[in-house]
Structure 1
Amino acid sequence: MPTPWPARMRAAAIAAICLLFAHAAPARAAEFVARAEVAAKDAKQILADWGIGFSATYIGEALGNASGGIRRGAIYTGRLDLGTDVDLERLMGWSGATFHANIYQIHGDGLSRDYIGNLMLVSGIEALPATRLYEMWIEQSLWGGRLMIKVGQQPSDIEFIDSKYDDVFANSALGWPGITGVILPSGGPSPPLAVPGIRLKAQLTERLTAYFAVFDGDAAPAGPQDPQIKNPHGLLFRVNDPPWFIGQLKYGFELGAASLPGSITGGAWYHMGTFDDQRLTAQGLSQADPAGSGEPANLRRNQGIFAVYEQKLAHSALDPQKGIGFFARASVSPSDRNLVSVYIDGGVQVTGFSERRPNDKIGAAITYARISDGARQFDRDIREFTGIATPVRDFEAIVELTYLAEVKPGVLVQPLFQYVMHPGGGAVDPNDPAQTRRIKDAAVFGVRTTINF
């Protein structure tokens, strides 16, 4: 039999082996990571050769209202966006066709929902926690791209009533306008609820582009619950609701010797569903009148008109594609069937102002949503029938200031400030026992982090 090693020799041998592995492990780990990166790049290139691409973006926000609102507090909310784009011509020979789909994984709380009580959410990613399908559509290009037809589940906020200078802002109304986001069923086709629809985009001339779309008119079934609860995973694919039509014409131009690009967009929308009267019952009495049923009258149809103006004001000396850009949007809808009847916003975005930070952006914007005459008169009726001096709602307005900093390619950090005036349009503070005090103006501070994988 072999002679056993003494205990000290065994310990020394074990130590030597451990030391060998300790020196070898980092090199092996680095080699493994390097091989994994090469394999991932190779797989990505193979998929790209087939016309398949993937994307992943994570947005995380820490937001808090330092004063005002329903109560003070802070939240964290996040959204992971996983998407794929497929060139169907390269994959299967379908000329001029592309496929897109993406899903959201949403988590965290909502500052507007839980702490402020305002109509125009302080964050465009605020939503109820869920994992949901958002978009899934096919787009067909015809006549050399002069006509584009998109069919499937899709949003409307990317192309309609939109400006390229509003992308830096966090407030939801500075993406999808505050009026359509408030008055359309389920907020209209915008995050986090897209709907089935057909969109046409036609390049009529070099400067004139026409857009037209018909969408299903509601992302969720009728009922008192939140639409996000009624359509929890974005898989209802509703097509039987009264439709919503929207169209616009966009005219592009250039100003001055500096050739500063700008555009003017005008359009309208029409919804064929029914909407609640903001003041009256079917019997013609105020909803606040004890002699009436208290149930709002149903009014057929709804519509709105809108306009968008965007203009580059100056080129950056560092990059002519950057500089100072301005936008303004306005929209009007009937007062009897809508909580908001007039909406205006505008803002400025500045890029290319620092050679050391070429991709940073600065933004300043303001929104204004006027509470409709019908809703105001209802508030006055409550005063008359109850004898309580409850506030009469008038408007909600928000100022946003933000700075978007590129920490490194694909990683953005964005401190922001919003001041919310008359949350809920000047609604009654639910914490006031006398029901005579408005929700106080809120000062919101926060940081958004965006990571593109």
Structure 2
Amino acid sequence: MSWTGIQAGEFTTWGNDKGIDIFLDYSAEVISNVSGGERTGTGYNGLSSFGLDADLGQALGWEGTTLRVSGLDLHGSGIRSRVGDIMGVSNIEGYGSARLYDSWLEKSFEAKSLSLRAGLLLADDEFATLDTAGLFFNETFGWPEFISMNTFNGGPSFYAPALGGRLHWEPSAAIYVLLGLFDGDSLDSPDGDDTVNRHGLHWELGNGQGTIIMGEIGYRQNTGGEDVLPGVFKLGAWHHDSSFDDFGGGSAHDGTQGIYASAEQMVYREYGDQGLAVFARAGYAPEDRSEVEYSFQFGASYIGLIPGRDIDTFGLGLSHATISSDLPGRTSETVTEAAYEYIMSDEFTIQSSVQWVLDPGATDELDDALVFGLRTNLSF
């Protein structure tokens, strides 16, 4: 999912002896466009997530079976319309509602290092991820626009999961394979009407908007020990089988697709998890039917940069998206971001961000925007 705040905490110890963990998390941010864009101004975003994870092997004797049921509540008034950008300066901004969220049943086969998951799924939880970029506010460092802007309503991602299934296979400790099949429109509205599925209970698979198939293969290196520099390298592809207009006025296309690649590598280690890591990712989609032809992200993060703050993280990132040349008057948008995560405890963190958005909306009609953000994350 695009939201990359703290992980689910344990709200209560009730049910622990039965393999049940109940969690409740809350994130709140104040974010301000201080210059440029459509207009200046400040907004507030609030996100609460809640639910339970159940080991059904421990609870019911169904070995290797896990259940997740979760909900999401979004509220506040963000500033995306003030900035006028395409990437999204906040990864917790979305349609304000309470909804059924990431909810699924998973069966693991330990002997074959294989797991199958089905239910309401978030593709951005597992596909095309950049763990090293998890502290940034901008959506581009989570679910990339080379997928989100070239499918219906962003694809199966924060804040609207989609019906689907996923296979995860690890033939060795170094290699993994992901395959996923998802509903082609998680809002179930070709017009992008958030109210149609405002509570996450309007379930359809296909129904005119087709399906999305995703595949990814990854290679992990140097995963063992504290005296090595770990890294992960990924190749992926996706295909949406619905009909897509041709921007040049030709016949509609029976489907669209894209490819991507990413790399994350620790390049310097101080001690434990402390040190410097770098990341890069790029994706491409055909320009005759894709709003974003290609985009790329790269940057670095350092855990423990400031003496005495050994688990805080500082990061710098840049993302660039190029619009299809078949869309006149549109060019590209670039964002640079500096972010810091201050960890007070396992239950409370503070994040800060500064973003510079060049050519918001991928046009030359708006001045470059300067955006400041401050976010707190609570895990109960």
Taking structure 2 as the reference length, the TM-score comes to 0.92
* 1:232 equivalent in alignment to 2:212: no
What corresponds to 1:180 in structure 2? 147
Tell me by how many angstroms 1:374 deviates.
1.4
Instruction: Please tell me whether the aligned partners of residues 173 and 181 of structure 1 are also in contact (alpha carbons under 8 angstroms).
Output: no
Corresponding residue for residue 309 of structure 1:
263
The aligned counterpart of 1:276 is: 245
Q: Give a deviation string over 1:244-290, Cα, whole Å, max 9, x none.
A: 100011011139x952111211111111001122242xxx5xxxxxx
CA distance, structure 1, for counterparts of residue 12 and residue 91 of structure 2: 31
Q: Conserved in 2, the CA contact under 8 Å of 1:193 and 1:228?
A: no
Contact persistence 2:274–2:310 (CA under 8 A): no
User: Counterparts of 1:101-120 in structure 2 under 5 Å?
Assistant: 101-112=69-80, 114-120=81-87
* Structure of larger gyration radius: 1
Is the counterpart of residue 267 in structure 1 residue 233 in structure 2?
Answer: no
C-alpha distance in structure 2 between counterparts of 1:186 and 1:132, whole Å = 17
Identify unmatched segments of 5+ residues in structure 1: 1-40, 285-296, 380-391, 427-436
Q: 1:64 is paired with a residue of what secondary structure? A: strand
Alignment pair present for 1:418 and 2:355: yes
CA offsets, 1:348-395, max 9 Å, x none? Answer: 1111334532221101101111001211xxx2xxxxxxxxxxxx2110
Cα 1:223–1:208, aligned 2, differ >3 Å: closer, same or farther? closer
CA distance in 2: counterparts of 1:138 and 1:58, whole angstroms: 24
Q: Secondary structure at the match of 2:247?
A: strand
Which runs of 5 or more residues in structure 2 are unaligned? 1-9
Runs (4+) of structure 1 moved beyond 3 Å?
43-46
Quote the Cα distance in structure 1 between the aligned partners of 2:115 and 2:32: 42
Q: CA deviation at 1:79?
A: 0.5
Contact 2:261–2:281 (8 Å) recurs in 1: yes
Query: Following the alignment from structure 2 to structure 1, what is the Cα–Cα distance between the partners of residues 120 and 345?
Result: 34
Distance change in 2, residues 1:221/1:159 (3 Å): closer
Q: Residue 373 of structure 1 aligns to a residue in which SS?
A: coil
SS of residue matched to 1:278: coil
**Could you say which structure has the higher helix fraction?**
1
* CA–CA distance in structure 2, aligned partners of residues 74 and 123 of structure 1: 12
| Correspondence 1:53-452 to 2 at 5 A | 53-112=21-80, 114-144=81-111, 146-224=113-191, 226-241=192-207, 242-254=210-222, 258-280=227-249, 284=250, 298-317=252-271, 320-354=272-306, 356-375=308-327, 379=328, 392-426=329-363, 438-452=365-379
Aligned partners of 2:188 and 2:202 also within 8 Å: no
Give, in whole Å, the separation in 2 of the partners of 1:305 and 1:251: 17
TM, length-normalised to structure 1? 0.78
Structure holding more strand per residue: 2
Deviation at 1:440, TM superposition (A): 1.4
% identity of equivalent residues:
31
Cα root mean square deviation, aligned: 1.8
> Partners of 2:188 and 2:100 in 1: how far apart?
17
Distance apart, 1:99 and its partner CA: 0.5
More displaced, 406-415 or 52-61? 406-415
CA contact (8 A) 2:160 2:186 kept: yes
Amino acid at match of 1:342: Y
Contact persistence 1:208–1:249 (CA under 8 A): yes
Instruction: Count the aligned residue pairs.
Output: 367
Mapped partners of 1:104, 1:325: distance in 2: 31
State the shift of 1:194 in Å: 0.4
Q: 1:206 Cα shift?
A: 2.2
Aligned residue type for 1:237: W
CA distance in 2, matches of 1:409, 1:164: 18
Contact 2:273–2:303 under 8 Å retained in 1: no
Which residue of structure 2 aligns with residue 36 of structure 1?
none
Cα distance change, pair 100–68 in 1 and its aligned pair in 2 (3 A): same
Go from structure 1 to structure 2 and tell me whether the alpha carbon gap of 1:354 and 1:69 turns closer, same or farther (over 3 Å shift). closer
**How far apart, CA to CA, are the structure 2 residues paired with 1:247 and 1:146?**
17
Q: Which has the higher contact order (CA 8 A, sep 6+)?
A: 2
Structure 2 Cα separation of the partners of residues 204 and 339 of structure 1: 36
